[in-house]
Amino acid sequence: MGMNKVSEDVMKSRSFISVVIVFIFSMTLLVGCGEWTQRFYSDKHLEKIAKKSLYEKYNEEFEVRNIYQQAWKDFYAVCSPTKDDSVVFEANLFKDGRIIYDRYLDEIIEDEIRDEVSKCLDDLWDDYYIDGFSLYAFKLNERDKEYSLNSYVDLTYELAKEDERDYGTYAGVVIYLPISEYYNTKPEDEYKIFENEIQELINEHIIPPIAVNIFVIADYKLQKVRDYLKRETIEDSYFRDMMWKNKYQFKYDENNGKLMIDYNEYCRIRKEAIEK
């Protein structure tokens, strides 16, 4: 008899808990229905959101190449302006259309930096691929949609002071050099280009002080690099493993654009990079 009483009480408790759960779930659906549907959009729907938001910000059309890392409230998109599909950038947006950040300006500025540096390198190497990066361009988003490389140079110093951080350089280039070019080029010829021509660009403030990273890679990998970087903004593990083995780096002084490495040191790290 006692056992039946206990069982009855347990059943009542379970029934009460079930009713409470159903009530809470129902209220959640009623109150947060719009929020729930916002959380699980298809990639096609997110593409529309990204295109609309970017158009409203820049007053030009964009294409979405890829949607990735869709989270509860936000998502990432790899995009290109319709007028130039060679420009590839990342955008992070809330699913209600608000832009958290996008790197469209970064990519435009990096493209200008690449063009200027390439003019110096074309007489040095027959075949290579150059990529770029800038550390502060994304902060121009809320300041001024009309920009130039020179105004970016000036603003980087201002923004660095605001952040109270000293990066030393505010932009850079990444050069992917096939091993055949590496062997065909004399170290002294390379050094002269970086010491004189690129340094002159910096001193004239055509480009800001930069870091230069050179990856020495197998010849057959060069086209893989081109193909990858034309469609993606994020380095996956395979790309990192392929690239980050044979690397050497040098920087220019932020005050006077002087190369921060002497010739002997340059030759040493150049040799070490290929022997790894």
Question: Residue 172 maps to which CATH number?
Answer: 3.10.310.80
- The predicted pLDDT at position 14 comes to 52
Regarding whether 122 and 55 lie in a shared domain, the answer is no
Q: Residues 149, 115: contact at Cβ < 8 Å?
A: no
Rounded CA gap, 211 and 57, in Å?
31
Rounded CA gap, 127 and 34, in Å?
54
Regarding whether 66 and 31 lie in a shared domain, the answer is no
Regarding whether 154 and 29 lie in a shared domain, the answer is no
Give residue for tokens 């654009």. Answer: 257
Q: Residues 175, 121: contact at Cβ < 8 Å?
A: yes
- The predicted pLDDT at position 189 comes to 92
Regarding whether 151 and 59 lie in a shared domain, the answer is no
Beta bridge partners of 63: 80
- The predicted pLDDT at position 157 comes to 61
pLDDT tens string 214-232: 888 888 888 888 888 877 7
pLDDT tens string 106-118: 787 778 788 888 9
Regarding whether 153 and 97 lie in a shared domain, the answer is no
Least confident residue range of 168-172, 228-232, 234-238: 168-172
**Six-digit token string for 108:** 């435009």
Q: Residues 100, 74: contact at Cβ < 8 Å?
A: yes
Q: Residues 171, 155: contact at Cβ < 8 Å?
A: no
For residue 1, pLDDT beyond 50: no
Regarding whether 245 and 143 lie in a shared domain, the answer is yes
Q: Residues 274, 246: contact at Cβ < 8 Å?
A: yes
Which phi and psi angles does 112 have, rounded to 5°?
A: -65, -40
Residue where a domain terminates, one of 102, 125, 148:
102
How many domains does one find in the chain? 3
Regarding whether 208 and 189 lie in a shared domain, the answer is yes
Considering the chain, what is the average pLDDT of its residues?
76
Q: Provide the residue range defining the domain that includes 258.
A: 106-275
Regarding whether 190 and 166 lie in a shared domain, the answer is yes
- The predicted pLDDT at position 34 comes to 47
Least confident residue range of 132-141, 179-188, 220-229, 261-270: 132-141
Task: Quickly count: other Cβ atoms within 10 Å of residue 134's Cβ.
Answer: 26
Between residues 185 and 258, the one the model is more confident about: 185
Between residues 79 and 12, the one the model is more confident about: 79
Q: Residues 175, 198: contact at Cβ < 8 Å?
A: no
pTM for this prediction: 0.69
